[in-house]
Amino acid sequence: MKIVILGSGNVAYHLAKAFKEKNIAVSQIFGRNENDLKEISEKFNIPFSTTELLDADFYLIAVNDDAVATISKQITKENCVVAHTSGSLPKEILEGKFRKASFYPLQTFSKSKELKYSEIPFFVEAENENDLKTLENLASKISENVMKSDYEKRKYIHLTAVFACNFVNHLFARAKEISDSQQIPFQYFLPLIKETTSKINTIDPKLAQTGPAIRNDEKILQLHEALINDEEHLKIYKVMNESIKKMYEL
């Protein structure tokens, strides 16, 4: 099967790397950003182009959600499968006469951070059973955790991931602003953060909650509000505490 990856961002980079690690040949990496394409091309020994899209059996579109439809139009071939990697788009967003599919890895990708691809859940969807099997087989070479998922389910998977990953990382970034402002090394908090995450492998997060809000400790909540001197921090502080109190009916 001839594979072409479209895109040169974090997801494209890691998929190219994951295929390379499993000796799955990628015929081309295609996109607009020549510098990023060149980097992937050189690292994983894949030809790249910004102008001529190669003929392939499987085109994997790993670009920002708002660019998926546009880039899909460049694929004029009909007898092939085209999948995007977005959690929040239906496969029908793809524009062309090819067979449409979805190939969604549930993970957060940064180029500079290595990953164990075998642990990443992959959710695949296709127009027919044959294509589905092809995608499942391909994903199974990378990961031990491959599942079928239609768009209805996938969009909720992505929404959950936004809460459990994107927002969590933002809390880390905001927390670091507070510790930085007091010359407290953020490193002090890494064991706490590690434990907070490790805990939920064995305890339901609802049962693992600690902190002043679940103790309904108004004095500490007021002290913290007085310490906070940033509007965004205060908004987050209030909304999160209110939400904790509501969850436990305090």
Q: Does the footprint of a copy of itself cover residue 219 (CB under 8 A)?
A: yes
Going by the DSSP 8-state scheme, the letter that residue 98 receives in this structure is: S
Of 55 and 217, CB closest to a copy of itself: 217
CB of 111 to a copy of itself, least distance (A): 10
- Number of residues counted as binding a copy of itself (CB under 8 A): 92
**Closest CB to a copy of itself among residues 96, 121:** 121
For position 205 contacting a copy of itself by CB under 8 A, the verdict is: yes
Residues 6+ positions from 95 with CB-CB distance below 8 Å: 69, 72, 73
Closer CB to a copy of itself, 70 or 198, in the complex: 198
Q: Which of residues 126-165 bind a copy of itself (CB under 8 A)?
A: 145, 147, 153, 155-165
Which H or E run contains 196?
Answer: helix 190-199
Q: Is 25 in the site for a copy of itself (CB under 8 A)?
A: no
Residue type, 71: I
Amino acid letter at 236? I
Q: Which of residues 53-112 bind a copy of itself (CB under 8 A)?
A: 64-66, 88, 106-110, 112
Among 2, 10, 27, 136, which residue interacts with a copy of itself (rule: CB under 8 A)?
A: 10
Written as six digits, the tokens of 31 are 């996109």
HSE of 229, CA atoms in CB hemisphere, 13 A: 6
Token output for 93: 């967003």
**What is the distance between the alpha carbons of residues 220 and 19, in angstroms, rounded to a whole number?**
51
